[in-house]
Chain A
């Protein structure tokens, strides 16, 4: 029987084969391709707004195709369209510390009414220089940025209440309140974390810091508001309740449990309205863009109302939560609060009903700086056992399931909220951070897809040197099992994201600005209104752009050192005909001017010469002809101010000697 060993060997080889580690090839199955194919001319089903992380912007992708549709400039300069450079938008990046041209954009929240997306605005946080921005979803433009005082690391932000009553901003890096100069190692005495509640005007979206709740110094990490029965509450995860100010990696990982902070914001609102708060002098900038005048109004605010839990009973409670919790997510019913201890091997799920009765029955295990700490078991619905390693964030599908991302074990795990049983797990490539189900943090998730925003890319795409794009992965969650459909690269470093059905936004998307409504101070209503006006060293060029010429396109009588302001009005009223504007040697950026808009580029020539300027956005068959010249003469010379387009020059042209 000499065949026998051969058969054994073959069996062994097959067995070995089946032990192979799971990789993408085995993870992708079935009709994945057809599920993400959006035929030419067809549109995606969802808009996916993705935070840009360290690029400071917000990206918009289409789902399920994963196609990048737009990058909305928010907290970073964008020379591509002049955001932050143009006279109209530069003050959007103004802070109490001057112009801050960059930020670290982590989380996004779409505005809600009754706990559902209403498609009006999307809010974005800036982690580095604490700020919150509001983006209009008809124009995909940043309309407002408010700075958060008494805060460092605005991380647990911009999560919102169910009717967008408030947007919150929670301090990740505790800092002293006010301006006192204190030693770093006085953290425990002097450092505080604040949970700021920014009210949002129902009609205009206008933001205002209504009050700040002063909490003991610790790291407020993430947050989510309650829903339905827990509507009045807001939940923040914390870490570093050890209050370390150095080597947090070790020193903030000592305690077995940190906290979920439960804030009754309705109560806080009452306290603030009834004057329980202290007015604290705090300087912070508030920048609002006006679409009509196309200008930014920056106001320095001078104080905030601070609520101290000591003076405000029944406003704040702490729930112990294992191992430096990160994600703090509330299920669609508003009953379950999921805290994800990022170093834990289980997921605790808290019950809002139990929390309420624990508070009623004063089932406290003690207090943290005077704030009652509810007994862990008294608030606990249960724990998901052995879900994976390093849970970070949880989203919901509205069918009673939760999906949690696991950074360390690099997977997404689906589990049942009620019985806490794991249903399915699917690997991510690699090390997922945030994850997102369309509407997955609202009262009515749309479900259907899940996107994992991975932190590590490695070999997912063609290599591009040491610095790689980030990687997102799309899963279908229609069935019991998650099905991996698609990889797509993302830019910056996405953290949290939101998605909304395309039909809720697309019909409202603005195509052009009505030029008749252009109230810009320097708008030129037609070519006949163009002019060049000198006022001392300041020169205002009222210019128009229309296919395919600029008016005026010849300008003389400008001197070295003049401050030249090009106010370019795009006279077009047709969809997708922006004009660009660039001047040789301009030290700032270019402009992209949408139809009907006026935008201003400041240019200070530093040397004599002829400066060509031109349209940068390929607008028409004669785009290459859309150019002009500015003559800059030495200071003190006597060249008269002269300008026009296609104006016959009656003066004799003298050759230079």
Chain B
């Protein structure tokens, strides 16, 4: 069992720090703009909360029969922090063991969590945009209001822009570091073979 390089070892606390920012910085941001909202409306998604102009967005969405967004409806806000904390704790173990193989596994877990998170986010957006109240006052045939996972989309009078917020960038940085270090570790072990 090969030992981790120095860079590999240093990268572990860096990754953990990157992920720790999720408790102080929002992960994702959805900006909405409409003629009636010159300053725009913003929704910020945190690891354990959703903030911003949520009440105003809820008020608007009742016209088209979208469900209102409430923090307590998201199981994710409980599971995601637990998952991330566990992942960070695993990082400490990987650091103590100092073996490459564990680092690879750790990275693998991260990739799985990341992919699943994105799938979960997309699924919520799909439900949010498609599950409409049949009694809604405004019904546009064939129209769904699924916000974009990433990027820009125009829906009726609203323009929506979905993108990572600062915490989200740290999260992605963690992913990039993990994968990059894995590549480095593999290269190093081939070179020393």
Contacts and interface: CB of A to CB of B under 8 A. Distances in A.
A546 interface: yes
Contact of B59 (A547, A621, A625): A547
Interface string A569-586: 000111000000000000
Contacts of A572: 59
Contacts of A625: 137
Interface string B48-67: 00000001100100110000
Contacts of A621: 63, 137-138
Contacts of B62: 547
Sort chain B's interface into a size bin.
Answer: under 10
Contacts of A573: 55-56
Nearest to A577: B59
A572 B59 CA distance: 9
Judged by DSSP, the binding face of A is: loop
A574 B59 contact: yes
A621 B63 CA distance: 9
Nearest to A622: B137
Interface in A543-590: 546-548, 572-574
A183 B110 CA distance: 98
Interface string B169-187: 0000000000000000000
Interface in B6-59: 55-56, 59
Nearest to A547: B59
A573 B57 CA distance: 11
Contacts of A547: 59, 62
Interface residues of A, number: 10
Contacts of A548: 137
B70 to A, nearest CB: 14
Nearest to B138: A621
A625 B62 CA distance: 15
Contacts of A620: 63
A344 B62 CA distance: 69
B112 to A, nearest CB: 40
B56 A574 contact: yes
A549 to B, nearest CB: 10
Contacts of A546: 59
Interface in B119-146: 137-138
Interface string A59-72: 00000000000000
Interface in A571-629: 572-574, 620-622, 625
B63 A622 contact: yes
A620 B61 CA distance: 12
B69 to A, nearest CB: 15
Interface string A481-517: 0000000000000000000000000000000000000
Contacts of B138: 621
A620 B137 CA distance: 12
B103 to A, nearest CB: 49
A622 B59 CA distance: 13
Residue among B55, B59, B62 with the highest chain A CB neighbour number at 10 A: B59
A247 to B, nearest CB: 59
A578 to B, nearest CB: 14
Nearest to A621: B63
A360 to B, nearest CB: 61
Contacts of A574: 55-56, 59
A546 B137 CA distance: 15
Nearest to B55: A573
A622 B63 CA distance: 9
A318 to B, nearest CB: 57
A174 to B, nearest CB: 54
A547 B138 CA distance: 13
A620 to B, nearest CB: 8
Contacts of B59: 546-547, 572, 574
A106 B62 CA distance: 48
B173 to A, nearest CB: 36
B62 to A, nearest CB: 8
Contacts of B63: 620-622
A572 B55 CA distance: 9
Nearest to B36: A576
A574 B55 CA distance: 9
A574 B137 CA distance: 21
Contacts of B56: 573-574
A255 B138 CA distance: 77
A547 B55 CA distance: 13
A625 B55 CA distance: 22
A546 B60 CA distance: 11
Nearest to B53: A574
Nearest to B41: A574
A547 B61 CA distance: 11
Interface in B53-104: 55-56, 59, 62-63
B14 to A, nearest CB: 40
Interface string A610-651: 000000000011100100000000000000000000000000
Contacts of A622: 63, 137
A389 B89 CA distance: 89
Nearest to B56: A574
A622 B55 CA distance: 19
Interface in A173-208: none
A621 B62 CA distance: 12
A5 to B, nearest CB: 69
Contacts of B55: 573-574
B42 to A, nearest CB: 13
A620 B62 CA distance: 12
A113 B169 CA distance: 48
A470 B169 CA distance: 60
A620 B157 CA distance: 14
A527 to B, nearest CB: 13
A620 B36 CA distance: 10
Contacts of B137: 548, 621-622, 625
6 contacts: A573-B56, A574-B59, A621-B63, A621-B138, A622-B137, A625-B137
Given A620-B63, A625-B137, 12 more contacts: A546-B59, A548-B137, A572-B59, A573-B55, A573-B56, A574-B55, A574-B59, A621-B63, A621-B137, A621-B138, A622-B63, A622-B137
Shortest 4 CB-CB contacts between residues of A and residues of B: A574-B56, A622-B137, A573-B55, A547-B59
